Structure formats: C-alpha cells, structure tokens
Structure 1
Amino acid sequence: MEVAQVLRMNGGAGKTSYANNSFVQKKAITLSKPIREEAITGLYRSTLPRSLAIADLGCSSGPNTFSVVSELIKAVEKLCRKLNHKSPEYRLFLNDLPGNDFNSIFNSLDSFKEKLQTQMEGGIGPCYFSGVPGSFYSRVFPDQSLHFVHSSYSLQWLSKVPEGIDNNRGNLYIGRTSPPNVARAYYQQFQRDFSSFLKCRAEELVEEGRMVLTILGRRNDAEDPASKEGGYLIWELMAMALSEMCVQGIIKEEELDSLNIPQYTPSPSEVKLEVLKEGSFVINRVEVCQVNWNPLEDWNALEFECERSESLRDSGYNLAQCMRSVAEPILVSHFGEHIIEEVFSRFQKILTDRMSKCKTEFSNITILMTRKA
C-alpha cells in the first residue's frame, strides 16, 4: 500500500464526506481549544511577531479546518486589543497529502475571511493562505519559517504499513489474535515516524515557536494494545464485518489477510519519550481526554441540528459514517468500490450492538511544546 496515494478523507460535501461526518474530530478539537489558546497567546507575548506564520498539518477539509484557524486568529486579535498593539499579518499554511480536497478549502476561503472580519469588531490583520501538499514526515517548510504548528487527529497515521507483519491474518490492525511481533512492529514504525516529524518541525520552527498536537491514542502504557480502547477496537470491529463477507465469498481471504491499516495509537508516555529523545522541544503540557464513540451524544442538539434522544441505531450510523469518511479510500483501493455499501452496512450493525452493551470511547492525547532556544 502506497500510503501517500490512498490516505485521504472523503472530499466534497456529500452524505459520506469528511466535511459532513467529522464530529468525533470536531469534539477533540473543541476539548483541546484551551491548550491552543494558551500556546498562541504565550507565543505572541514572548515574540511579538509582526508577521505570524501558522501551519495546520493534516488539515483535511471542511469546517474543522477553518475552526482551528479562526480560533487562533481570534485569540491573537483579542490579545492585541488588550495590549494596544497593531494586529499582525497572518500567514496560514494548510498542509495535507496531495490527495486532500484542497479545492473545497480554496472555494470557501473568501466567505471564511469575510465572516471572520465581521465577527471581530474592528476587523483583523491581513490573512494570506497557502495550501501545502506533502507528507509531514519530511520537510515541508523552509528553515525557521513558522511560529506555530498545529495538528489534530493526523499523527496516529503512519507513513507506511510496518514491515514484517504478514502473519497478522484476519486483522486489520493490532488485534487480540495478532502475534506479538505485530504490536512491536507498529510501535517501532510509530517511533521512526514521530521522530522524523519532530526533527523536521524543529528545523522549521523559530526559537520559542509553539506546537500543539492532538493524537488519537490510548490512556496509559498498561493498556493492552489490543484492549477495548477505541482506536484499536474500531478496526477489530471493521475486521469482523469484512470476515463475515469473506466467509460468504464476497471478498477473498487473501485480500483480507493482506490489508493492514497504517495507524498507531500511542500512550502519553510513548509520545513524551520521543519528544525527549529528539531533544529540540520543551514539553509544557500533556493532557488526555475521552471522546464518546457516539460523537453527538452530549453536544448541544442545536449545533448539529439533531435530537439528543437519538436511538442506538442512529448512534451506530453516526460512527459508521464518520469511519466511512476516513476509511473508504483505503478500502476502495484494496477491495474495490463494489464492497463499500455492504461492508459499512454490516459495520453499522456491529457498532450498534457494541455500543448498546458497553461504554465506548476514544482516547486523545494533546501535547503542547515550545521550541528550545
């Protein structure tokens, strides 16, 4: 699997698009907002840049992309008014792999900037947007060209499927039946990738620049990688749906056995260890929060135009649609488009059953770092 070619969210604004189904990701972004505001205001106070360069890595497309940019600009503008400073100009870089739906972002830019200008009394500083395609596991920006780096729900994706896991039959990821070498190979690939990410960002950030990362992870090191943690279990349930189809001859066994998802959900200690080993950053803050599998369960009903008393079936549908917006390009590339409706119909039923029997949550790790002088 060439990850850079197939790892993309469903584009556009249709029923199965990422833009219309990224509620889990939106909730994670909302929960980590105080950390981002702490980071961007601390950066501005300490450096007072006239031109502020902000990069969102793994930006995808849709409202989540603009919500992060909007809140960062608003936080700086409020501080400028408090300090009686002139607004800086904003250079905003939106990065993702080349297959990302950048067109949707560009088509929405004018309306986004107009809305932001009206929301801030007195307006804001000039904003210059750039789309930057490429893998963030390599260099993306010039030396010391960024003040602030943000990434949410992207760094759990690996640069490639780990090598040496051909014996992970019947699993899409680390599962309860996976041999011990599989979890080890996934962790080692995460170490290599995250270390590369940190080294690249250390070269691209100015001294005292800030970086805030939110990663789909697990609560602690004691958790078995194949436990009921959401990031692991979700792929095991997807494998169940595909296995049913394999038994019925809809897909071939060798097709299922040869698919492994390029993802690793680390623990907080695993994240901190790589930061300390790389050595370019001070860790200011690390937080772990939980997000319910039913992404709409405890949101304000008006915000999402839905009923809070939705049925369990609807809950399963919501998460299945969320997963489809993320996983469909990978599954289409591997199995073909003809299986998609069937696999997600089965997946929804399996999710609904699981969510009716036990509490289901995703764990998110948010880390705030400062580039050492």
Structure 2
Amino acid sequence: MLHQQNIYLDNNATTRVDERVLEAMLPYFTQLYANSTSQHIAGLTVNEAVENAAWQTADLINADAEEIIFTSGATEAINLAIKGLADQDRKHIITITTEHKAVLETCAFMESIGFKISYLPVGQDGLLDLNLLDQSITDNTLVFTGMLSNNETGVIQNVSKIAALLKSKNVLFICDATQAVGKIPVDVKTLGIDLLALSAHKFYGPKGIGALYISAKAKIKLTTQILGGGQQRKLRSGTLNVPGIIGLGKASEIAVNESEGDKKRIEILRDKLENDLLKFEGSFVNGNTKNRIYNTTNICFPGVNSEQLIMALGNISVSNGASCSAVTSEPSHVLKAMGLSDEEALSSIRFSLGRFTTSREIDIAVERVLALAGELVLQVRR
C-alpha cells in the first residue's frame, strides 16, 4: 500500500520494480537457486537463464552478450572501467564537472596514483563545448568519461559528436548512461561508445545489479578489480547475483518493447508539471530544455529553501541533489558548475517521473508544491 499513498517523483534516484520483473526473479530465489557456474543439471539450467539475461541486456543497447559484464550497479561498472585502465601507457583522463560522484571520485583516485585529470566546465545550459574538449586532448590522453543524460537536470550531451571527435584522436570513450538506458534508445555501436555503465534499478529493475559494456571492437584490456574464482571471463570474480541478473534481463526486455510508449505518456506529464510549477514567481528551469530526457525537470524556486520544502511535502517524494538521501544541506555541484549561486542551487528541486506516475498525482503535487513554496517565501519575508 505504500506506493499508493506516496506520490513518488524521484525516479532518477531509483524506480519501483515492475511486477513483471519481480515475477521473473522469484523462481531464482526458491526453485532455480543453483550456482550458475556449477556443472550439474541444475547449475547448467540456471546458467542458461543467465546467458539469456545477458542477451536481453545486450539487446537493449545493441551490443553482443559477450560484451556484457554484470556488476553490482553502475558505480562498480564505472570503477571497473576507469580503474581498469590504470596500467595503460597514457596517463591523462578528461571528464566533466557535472558528472556523478561515482565518476568524479574515481577520477580523484586515479589522480592520486599519478594520472592527470582535466575537469571540463559546462555552459549555463549544462552542455559541454566540443571545441573545449578538442583543445583538451593531448598525445597523453587515454580516455574521456562523460554522461549521456545528467542525473540532476536530465541534460543530454551530444554523445555521437563527442564519440566521433574522440575516435579521430584515438581516445577511448567511457559513457555513464545510467539515467538513459531503458528510457531512451541507446545504441553503443551507432553512438561509438567504448565502455558503458548502467544500473537496473533506474529502469524498473532490482537494486544491486548493473552492467558494464566493453566494446569487443575496441579491444580494450581492463585490469581486473575483483579477484577470486575467475567468473565473467576473469574480469569480475564472485558468485553471480542470479535473481538480480534475471531481473535486469527482464527489465531490459520490457524497455525494448515499451520505452517509446513510456516516453510519450511521461513527457506529457512532465511538461504539465513543469508548466504549472513555473507559475511560481521568478521560477526557472535549470539546464537545456531542448536536449534533455523526457522524465526530468529541475526547477529553481527563488527564496524557497529546498530542504524545508522537501520535508514539508511529506509523502510527495522529490529531490534537491544526487544523494541517495533526498535531503542534503550542500548545494548541488552540478548546479554550481552550471553557474547557479549557492542560494539558487539550494532553492532548486528535481522532479523525475516514471512509468507508474499518474496525471492525478501530478495535479496533487503541483497544488502542494505551489502552496508550500508560497508559505515558505512568506516566512522568509517576515
């Protein structure tokens, strides 16, 4: 009953597991529970299901099943991708200041072991200047790592042009596509991505499972980060999370068939929410409104403390940053990098809709947000 009482508009943080995904997973907890690497019939049966899930996941991004490594989520996938390149001769990494902390913190680690990191700024719209990227590449540049869709603003970078530039300079491309995969078409071959990270729980799958795509064509040799029994072609040892993998595969299959329908419906709801909330005096959208994903809007309500507003909203779940907790007293590094002041960043709210969001919930949320934001502004003025 919890999801019926709660109006959940924080789908970029995590999503509700689709009941079809849960149904597919359940037998692998209680009936088909054998270790997928065991050589008996029960193990081989489970392994066949794992291989099918790998195919389903690969199909979602137009990859081959052999190019998929299952991880605990996008954060681990990003760590494997970046740290796995530590033994390469070139020692320069380029990234963007608006990246997720999983990328920024891993880059900081790489800096501590001798790599040079270039953190490129973005414009006020959140987009990267490709000329600046071009100028930042040197003979020592090994890899560029950049998001497809930003988790806080939804801004979509021009990935295909970025990839073309990198390829012309013989630079690898790591793409954090966590907020895009399962929502919009992501074709790693057409886009020219060498490594890509994703998480199931961002598109109605379970938490604790994700994947790293590693292009076979790029012939990338990653240094293993987790040693042990040599599972997954010795790139990521450990007993496989079979129920999670089955859930990721099923969520991928559903996304292939239904994401376009989700887009049409959710985008209408997002635009309605945004247009109504922008009636608040002085409010504005953070980030580019043309190049962004359809489920996300990040709005600044001048004079309103976002932390207070989130707490006042109670059963309406929204966010003011990328933290796993919806409430943080620190201004968003993403919004700061886009030129917002501390006060503006701390007055901004991210609304992210999903497959289960209804029109009625949007109407209620708009009414509550506008009323409570107005009260908070009056309190400040007093």
Same fold (TM over 0.5): no
TM-score interval (norm. to shorter): 0.3 to 0.5
Q: TM-score, structure 2 length as denominator?
A: 0.35
Q: TM-score, structure 1 length as denominator?
A: 0.36
Q: Larger % of helix: which?
A: 1
